[in-house]
Chains A and B, each alone.
Chain A
Amino acid sequence: MKPKVIRYLDKGEFPIGEGEALALYRAMRRARFFDEKALLLQRQGRLGVYAPFMGQEAAQVGVALALGEKDFVVPSYRESAMLLARGLPIHTLILYWRAHPAGWRFPQGVRAVNPYIPIATQIPQAVGLALAGRYRGEGWVVATSIGDGGTSEGDFHEGLNFAAVFDAPVVFLVQNNGYAISVPRQRQMRVDYIARRAEGYGIPGVVVDGNDAFAVYLEAKKAVERARRGEGPTLLEALTYRLAPHTTSDDPSRYRTREEEEAWRAKDPILRLRKALEDQGLWGVEAEEALLGELEEEFAREVALADQAPEPTPEMIVEHVYAQMGPDQRRAWEALRQGKHVEELW
């Protein structure tokens, strides 16, 4: 049976509280602001290779805000919006994308781990983290995220199967943006909806309009509550679109059309949510301008903070390999600290 795509926006429905809706909007707008600024910084040579998420804010923020305080996010590299919504400081995120070690140690209070670069390896790890919380009686839920292409990997299958067998409290968000870099969904799978695969694992699968913040948020909330009640994992597929390139090194004009991009631009999740808020009289030009002013100020402050991070030193290469350095790291550390190569110490 074809799953129903859950959608509220554009139908005049307003299924969540005003406060929650405004929180969603602010977090999504803040994320978009970061994304635009990050692309500019990259163009100025002030950021390394960057993976933008533009267009996927509803999917990422909707899930992040559905979580409770003690819950964890286990993200892939495109989930900067999710990390921001979980409270990762902007300057840490900038330093992360600058490939500066100071951005790779997330602050202790942030319930998220570093983004994963290999595809799908985060899925079984998220299951382990969730089961650790259950074993310890902490009761935290883990939300992890992957793209449509990532679901072709073996670890996606192994992780979902483990989660199902152990009733792990995990929400698996699949951001189906139609492409794995350049390869379209049709070349990844024969199923029409990824959520249908949930049945193969014996777990619930849900499809939402991923550019509808209400739909993502509400379904994520249900999945989180189900996980917290001990009823196991949920596969949540969010249909969305990456409006920007895969990374700052990518050229999407080689694999998709302008028309397609324009069609999705019209379905921008931020514009759609803003319209719903405006229809209710909850938002307007003034509020938007005030918000943008705040964001501009915040970003300037955070960039200044990031710029203050001291230059990494060569011996950092061999730090944190082990809890305590072995003899080989120690020797290399001494050499690097003295500005030498290890060979010069013999």
Chain B
Amino acid sequence: MVAEKARVLNLVQAINEALDLALAWDERVLVFGEDVGRLGGVFRVTEGLQAKYGEKRVFDTPLAESGILGLAIGLAMGGLRPVAEIQFAGFLYPALDQILSHLGRWRHRSRGRVGLPVVVRAPYGGGVHTPEQHADSPEALLAHTPGVKVVIPSSPERAKGLLLAAIEDEDPVFFLEAIKLYRGVRAEVPEGYYTLPLGKARVVREGRHATLIGYGGMVEVMLEAAGVAAKEGVEVMVVDLETLVPLDEETLLEAVRETGRAVVVYEAMRTGGFGAEIAARIAEGAIDYLQAPVVRVAGYDAPYPPFSAIEHYYRPNARRVLAALRRVLGF
């Protein structure tokens, strides 16, 4: 269900609205993390929530990511619906034991007795000159963890509905928010409570010559490239995966079969990135339709550069996507 009235919001405001509604809707929802209380989060995503819902439901924790994940797991075990914030996705690493060893395993190891409806929100990705370690895109690491879901929204309207669906979900969901989009994108967002389905990819632009596949902050890059290509008479389809796990392979393969040419775009390091999984799925499921090799446009095999003058070379842009399109179209 989608409410009728809509206003123009940025991504921060849309996520804030989703959290606000979740807190109002379900008293089992708790929001916590570093600086999410009085400060309202370093990006102000939780602004005003502590004042509105009190310190029992929206609270600051000690500065310890493993502790935050462990706390979230225990709260969920006890019947609550924790929504934890990790200040930057690159700060998830101290919590990997909790994530890899437990978060996605509890349902399996308890044979269904202990399910963990935990949401972990974290800003990810580059493009805004953040300090070192603040621009990582660890989605492949999370997608490689059994038992968790991974959702990466590409717009304010999608983010609000997907986050509410993630909070309603019975399993752990990582919800990664592109820092570049926080205030870099404004769009109409419906008022009121609505959810969008997890596990569904969507075609955000139709086209018959080639297919671009990506998610999160790369969707606007792909759309920009598709717009430029259209001026040259090339019709490019754009697929926004939205949910990496569980992956909507059906929509993905159908989109590739229609054009026979695929370019996968992601801003994480190329090797072992989630785009590699997409390319593998295409090879397994649509090789008969391919008229060119699958090409990846991704970050380079190096740490995300903390050097602001050159960091824009790392993150894929429309120009690099167009170069890849030329390659698959000219094969």
| Chain A contacts to B: CB under 8 angstroms | 101-102, 104-106, 108, 113-114, 117-118, 121, 123-133, 135-136, 154-155, 158-159, 161-162, 165, 319-324, 326-328, 346
Contacts and interface: CB of A to CB of B under 8 A. Distances in A.
Given A113-B114, A162-B71, A320 B284 contact: no
A161 B64 contact: yes
A241 B147 CA distance: 37
Interface residues of B, number: 49
Given A132-B79, A327-B249, A322 B107 contact: yes
A312 B318 CA distance: 52
Nearest to B56: A135
Given A128-B82, A320-B108, 4 more contacts: A106-B113, A125-B70, A322-B170, A322-B246
B74 interface: yes
B330 interface: no
A137 to B, nearest CB: 11
Contact of B74 (A104, A105, A128, A321): A128
B102 A346 contact: no
Interface string B73-90: 111111110100000000
B110 A105 contact: yes
Nearest to B72: A128
Contacts of B70: 121, 123-125, 127-128, 155, 158-159, 162
The winner among B76, B80, B115, B170 for most chain A CB atoms within 10 A is: B80
B257 to A, nearest CB: 15
Given A121-B101, A136-B78, A155 B108 contact: no
A128 B77 contact: yes
Contacts of A113: 77, 110, 114
B245 to A, nearest CB: 7
B155 interface: no
A287 B261 CA distance: 81
A123 B112 CA distance: 22
A329 B117 CA distance: 19
Given A125-B74, A162-B62, A135 B111 contact: no
Contacts of B114: 113-114
12 contacts: A113-B114, A114-B110, A123-B70, A124-B74, A129-B75, A129-B77, A130-B78, A131-B74, A154-B66, A165-B61, A321-B147, A323-B171
A105 B113 contact: yes
Given A128-B74, A328-B246, A323 B98 contact: no
B111 A136 contact: no
Contacts of A323: 107, 115, 169-171
The winner among A161, A162, A165, A328 for most chain B CB atoms within 10 A is: A162
B56 A132 contact: no
A74 B170 CA distance: 22
B23 to A, nearest CB: 13
A158 B170 contact: no
B80 A320 contact: no
A165 B62 CA distance: 8
B67 interface: yes
Nearest to B250: A327
B108 A321 contact: yes
A121 B64 contact: no
B108 A105 contact: no
Contact of A132 (B75, B102, B147, B149): B75
A129 B74 contact: yes
A158 B63 CA distance: 9
Contacts of B245: 326
B107 A320 contact: yes
A128 B71 contact: yes
B247 interface: yes
B71 A320 contact: no
B109 interface: yes
B74 A130 contact: yes
A132 B110 contact: no
Given A132-B75, A159-B67, A125 B62 contact: no
A251 B247 CA distance: 47
A192 to B, nearest CB: 27
The winner among B70, B80, B111, B115 for most chain A CB atoms within 10 A is: B70
Interface string B108-138: 1111111100000000000000000000000
Contacts of A118: 97, 101-102
A104 B77 contact: no
B44 to A, nearest CB: 24
B71 A108 contact: no
A138 to B, nearest CB: 8
The winner among A127, A129, A158 for most chain B CB atoms within 10 A is: A158
Given A114-B109, A320-B107, A322-B147, A158 B62 contact: yes
Given A154-B94, A155-B67, A328-B247, A131 B110 contact: no
The winner among A108, A121, A124 for most chain B CB atoms within 10 A is: A124
A257 B263 CA distance: 65
Nearest to A128: B74
Contacts of A346: 284
Contact of A106 (B67, B94, B110): B110
The winner among B74, B110, B284 for most chain A CB atoms within 10 A is: B74
Given A158-B70, A323-B115, A121 B110 contact: no
B48 interface: no
A125 B115 CA distance: 14
Contacts of A105: 110-113
B166 interface: no
B146 interface: yes
The 8 closest A-B pairs by CB, nearest first: A128-B74, A132-B78, A124-B70, A326-B246, A158-B67, A105-B111, A323-B170, A129-B74
A320 B112 contact: yes
B74 A127 contact: yes
Nearest to B117: A323
A88 to B, nearest CB: 13
A101 B113 CA distance: 12
A280 to B, nearest CB: 41
Contacts of A130: 74, 78
B298 interface: no
